[in-house]
Amino acid sequence: MMETLYFEDVIDITVPHPYVFVYRVPAGEVYSVDRYSPFMRLGMHEDTTLVFTIFESATPTMLLIDQWTQIHAAAQAYRQYVLDNIADVERVERRIEEEETSASRKQS
């Protein structure tokens, strides 16, 4: 039986964007924080370049093509999520700037 992949969204205030840890969980088992370590991180540079970081391990990391496809789909969804959040933040910043400009004009 094949291992399943578990994807954990991580928000870390020390980096510009959230990231995703990828875990391999033996078939038939349920992910548990204390039992498994991630083997990969999906992240994004400030320029929105998608980055796959594979962590060093004592045992080789072997994946089936279906698992790579699943990781690719998760990475694409993650990237779109981050891009949408960037766009939302930019819209809010523009609106705040417009409201501040409008308020200062009214006071003049």
> Tell me: the pLDDT tens digits for 46-104?
888 999 999 998 888 889 999 999 999 999 999 999 999 888 888 888 888 888 877 77
Residue 84: in which H helix or E strand, if any?
helix 65-107
Residue 24: the pLDDT is 92
Torsion of CA 78, 81, 82, 88, to 10 degrees: 180
Whether the per-residue pLDDT at 45 is higher than 90: the answer is no
Whether the per-residue pLDDT at 3 is higher than 80: the answer is yes
